[in-house]
Amino acid sequence: MTGWRLMARQIVRNPLSLAGVVIIFIFIILAVFAPLIAPAPAGHRDPYLIPRDGFSITPQPPSSEHIFGTTQGQYDIFYGCIWGARTAFRVALLVMAITILIGIVLGSLAGYFGGIIDEIIMRITDIFLAFPALILAMAIVAAIGPSMKTVMIALSVVWWPSYARLIRGDILQLREEDYVEASRGLGASSGRVILRHVLPNAIYPTLVMASLDIGAVVLSAAALSFLGLGAPEGYADWGQMTEFARNWIVGPQDDPLKYWYAVITPGLFILFFVLGWNLLGDAFRDIFDPKLARR
């Protein structure tokens, strides 16, 4: 069990994880200061809807007005990408929070009490895990009706089983530890034992998985939006913007890569966002992996 300071030092030492932290930090700045960096024009109602400069279908190349250009329907790419960072954080953090919460509750119940409760919960997670995540999410979204909220619900439903399993596994391991026995011997109730002793130690693998999963969640959300099952048209979401670009992959004969800005830019934002979290998560994994302990 490493102290937080030691962990921070190890992260800063490693150039890869440092890069990850820097990237995430940049995105946080973009998200927090979105209204300043990409202000909505006067009178614009919902800041999450990308402002349109006209209604022409053809994307326009970058210019002084539109730094990244505009995509199909004249939506400003720059605006979309910056506010997209906000959307990404919203989705990622909310889904993670719900998932981990459900995972902790169900995982603790299963791990600590065992028996029938454990069996039932495990079978349910089995069923969820056997089904391809994306398709399940698609089914849920389609059933309820596409929107960002639905996407978040669907992703939470799809993701919680892995956390329940993880926490359960940790608890099973930690349950046998001596200090838990000692605590029970002193008369502590089950709940207290879980909260004060078992969970704090189970946090670390969860942290590893969570930081790696944030990237995966954003990727899945983007995929859903890309398929038209997520953000409504014109919403500031990276996946949604990439969907627009689908029709413009190939330009006219003489200039096939003409609309590259519409295709590449939103995807690049997704890539870096996910990359940052993955780098961080990878560093976490190395730090907390007992087998790869440094000499």
Partner 1 sequence: MELRSYIIRRLLLLIPVLFGVTLFIFGITMFFSPTQRATLYVTSPQQMRDLPSIIAQYGLDRPFYIQYGTWLGQVFRGNLGWSTVVSMPVGRAILHYLPATLELAMCATPIIILVGIFFGTKAAAHKDRPIDHGTRIAAILGWSLPTFWLGLILMMIFYGYFRGLFPPMRLDPQMEVVVTSAGFVRYTRINTIDAILNLNGPVLVNALRHLVLPVVTISTVNVAFIMRLMRSSMLESLGKGYILTARAKGLQEKVVISKHARRNALIPVITVSGYLFAALAGGAVITETIFSFKGIGWWAAQSAIRMDIPSVLGFALFMAALFVLVNLVVDILYTRVDPRVRLGGEVQ
Output phi, psi for 49, to 5 deg.
-95, 130
The binding track of 69-108 with respect to partner 1, each residue x by CB under 8 A or -, is ----------------------------------------
Of these, 47, 62, 169, 228, which contacts partner 1 (CB under 8 A)?
Answer: 228
- Contacts (CB under 8 A) with partner 1, residues 118-147: 123, 127, 130-132, 134-135, 138-139, 142-143
| Residue 22 binds to partner 1 (criterion: CB under 8 A) | no
- Contacts (CB under 8 A) with partner 1, residues 171-190: none
Position 254, amino acid:
D
Of these, 260, 261, 284, 288, which contacts partner 1 (CB under 8 A)?
Answer: 260
Dist. CA 36–CA 95, nearest whole Å: 27
| Residue 271 binds to partner 1 (criterion: CB under 8 A) | yes
Three-class DSSP category at 207? helix
- Comparing CB distances to partner 1, the nearer of 65 and 126 is 126
| Residue 241 binds to partner 1 (criterion: CB under 8 A) | no
Nearest to 233 by CA among 60, 55, 68: 55
Dist. CA 229–CA 138, nearest whole Å: 7
Q: Give me the residues paired with residue 75 across strands.
A: 52, 71
- Comparing CB distances to partner 1, the nearer of 138 and 198 is 138
Q: How far is CA 18 from CA 25, 109, 140, 203, 215, in A?
A: 10, 37, 37, 22, 17
Dist. CA 247–CA 208, nearest whole Å: 38
- Contacts (CB under 8 A) with partner 1, residues 188-227: 215, 219, 222-223, 226-227
First-to-last alpha carbon distance for the chain, in angstroms, is 15
Return residues touching partner 1 (CB under 8 A). Answer: 16, 123, 127, 130-132, 134-135, 138-139, 142-143, 215, 219, 222-223, 226-229, 239, 242, 245-246, 249-251, 256-257, 260, 263-264, 267, 270-271, 274-275, 278-279, 282, 289, 291-292
